[in-house]
Amino acid sequence: MTTRLSEELFQKSQSVIPGGVNSPVRAFGSVGGKPRFMAKAKGSKLWDVDGNDYIDAIGSWGPMIFGHAHEQVLAAVTEAARDGTSFGAPTAREYELACLVLDNYPGCERIRFVNSGTEATMSALRVARGATGRDFIIKFAGNYHGHADALLVAAGSGAMTTGVPSSAGVPADTAKTTLVANYNDLDSVKALFEAKPAEIAAVILEPVVGNMGVVSPTETFLQGLRELCSEYGALLIIDEVMTGFRLAAGGAIERFKIDADLVCWGKIIGGGLPVGAYGGKASYMDNVSPVGKVYQAGTLSGNPLAMAAGIATLKLIKETKDLYDVLEARTARLEQGLKEGAQAAGITTQINRVGSMITVFFTGQPVFDFVSASQTDTQIFARWFHGLLDRGVYWPASNYEAAFLSYAHTETDIETMVRAASAAFKEL
């Protein structure tokens, strides 16, 4: 396939945009080669500027649970745009989307919309600190919660992809209030609480990690965190930016029966438009201005286009009775096909999947935390990635990112992906 126009655009973009991209993984830095510049998308497919088409296994990193350019979402956004794209004032759509989200999260009583997952997590941490009067937080190595300073410590996602799981420009005084535990290791969390029993405001985590590849919690991990937080008076913050409405209508909270104090959302609740939200129990959320003293604001928060896209998407979720059954079945078939293809080619893999999130790790050991995820052979992955890309499958350009399927992926799409992956395995 020809990629001349993508290569030209990449070269031009590098003169005006750092690295030529607006989010690091897009640059193909960990897999080599030149990124494809996309022109359009529909359903399960993407088309680049050179006219090449791909089956999309990214879905804009999770939001496109019904595929790209769904007619009901497009109609809702178009209608909203005709009324004006931004007001800087409250609208009825904000109330409607708030109710749709909270209806699926019965433990949450209040919600505040923002513009990104980063805003959601940093705001939730501010609420936790304001509510408890404490400064320290606990996060987990390899979990990524956006690029706020306090959270770029032992981070996953792009920071892990580039081999630098933190960031320059983060003040030492800011980083020192972030304590890092090991995912799926309750003893490491308990040790931090015992060292600072009255100083930790919150524990924040991805309930199913997607930002060091897919890593699921052990059977006792989440409940153990709830018990430790309750014992030491800290808040439990569940980052559902990726998993919210992806793993179930009530996200990981529903799937794993988690009692969270605060929850963060993004991606699906905006139907593909920029959005984020944080919410939780009223006793904590009523600390937020203008009711309380925890300040957070945003000119474009509750943007009418994003609210319209989110409302349409959440209504589709409610109407589509077989949504999660279909996602489960088709992603399970993909998992099976990937395992068979790797085995036939003599390639050692560990495939982690939860619902419609999936990652192929090139290691023979189980992957359950940051250290085990780091054992994947990223050089083999890079060759496999390009084998897929050359065969028209657009997989995440990092071994430390989750792939996502959508309701728009057909059984034919899945079989095409399996054949492409099997052929790519044979070339390794």
Residue 409: CATH number of its domain: 3.90.1150.10
- d(Cα 236, Cα 107) in Å, to the nearest integer? 13
Identified catalytic residue from 48, 56, 185, 239: 239
37 and 89 co-located in one domain = no
189 and 44 co-located in one domain = no
Pairing between β-strand 53-56 and β-strand 393-394 as defined by DSSP bridges: parallel
Pairing between β-strand 235-239 and β-strand 200-205 as defined by DSSP bridges: parallel
- Amino acid identity of residue 263, one-letter, is V
Identified catalytic residue from 267, 278, 284, 369: 267
∠ CA(213), CA(215), CA(220), 5° rounding?
165
189 and 328 co-located in one domain = no
Helix (H, G, I), strand (E, B), or coil: what is residue 221?
helix
Q: Is 183 a catalytic residue?
A: no
Residue 377: CB atoms within 10 Å: 17
312 and 349 co-located in one domain = no
Q: Is 135 a catalytic residue?
A: no
381 and 407 co-located in one domain = yes
What range does the domain containing 8 cover?
4-66+322-426
25: CB partners within 8 A, 6+ apart: 157, 158, 161, 396, 397, 398, 401
Q: Which of 272, 289, 319 is the last residue of a domain?
A: 319
- d(Cα 129, Cα 69) in Å, to the nearest integer? 40
pTM of the model: 0.95
180 and 297 co-located in one domain = yes
What are the Cα distances from residue 254, in Å, to 104, 218, 228, 240, 325? 9, 16, 20, 11, 15
Structure tokens at 133: 């009067």
Predicted pLDDT at 164: 42
∠ CA(284), CA(286), CA(289), 5° rounding?
120
CATH number of the domain that residue 304 is part of? 3.40.640.10
Q: Is 144 a catalytic residue?
A: yes
155 and 266 co-located in one domain = yes
- d(Cα 186, Cα 170) in Å, to the nearest integer? 27
**182: number of CA atoms within 13 Å, CB side?**
14
262 and 312 co-located in one domain = yes
Q: Which of 319, 344, 364 is the last residue of a domain?
A: 319
Residue 235 per-residue DSSP state: E
DSSP-assigned states of every residue in 269-331: GGTTSS-EEEEE-HHHHTTBTTTSSB----TTTT-HHHHHHHHHHHHHHHH-TTHHHHHHHHH
What are the Cα distances from residue 191, in Å, to 133, 150, 179, 225, 307? 21, 20, 11, 12, 42
Identified catalytic residue from 45, 54, 105, 144: 144
- 34, exposed or middle or buried, with CB in 10 Å at 0-12, 13-18, 19+? middle
Pairing between β-strand 53-56 and β-strand 45-48 as defined by DSSP bridges: antiparallel
Residue by residue, pLDDT tens for the chain (428 residues) are: 899 999 999 999 999 999 999 998 999 999 999 999 999 999 999 999 999 999 999 999 999 999 999 999 999 999 999 999 999 999 999 999 999 999 999 999 999 999 999 999 999 999 999 999 999 999 999 998 987 767 766 554 544 444 444 667 676 777 788 999 999 999 999 999 999 999 999 999 999 999 999 999 999 999 999 999 999 999 999 999 999 999 999 999 999 999 999 999 999 999 999 999 999 999 999 999 999 999 999 999 999 999 999 999 999 999 999 999 999 999 999 999 999 999 999 999 999 999 999 999 999 999 999 999 999 999 999 999 999 999 999 999 999 999 999 999 999 999 999 999 999 999 99
Q: Which of 290, 319, 348 is the last residue of a domain?
A: 319
For 15-169, strand residue ranges (E) read 38-42, 45-48, 53-56, 110-114, 136-140
- d(Cα 372, Cα 146) in Å, to the nearest integer? 22
10 and 128 co-located in one domain = no
Number of domains present in the structure of the chain: 2
- d(Cα 319, Cα 106) in Å, to the nearest integer? 19
∠ CA(333), CA(336), CA(337), 5° rounding?
85
186 and 207 co-located in one domain = yes
412 and 273 co-located in one domain = no
46 and 89 co-located in one domain = no
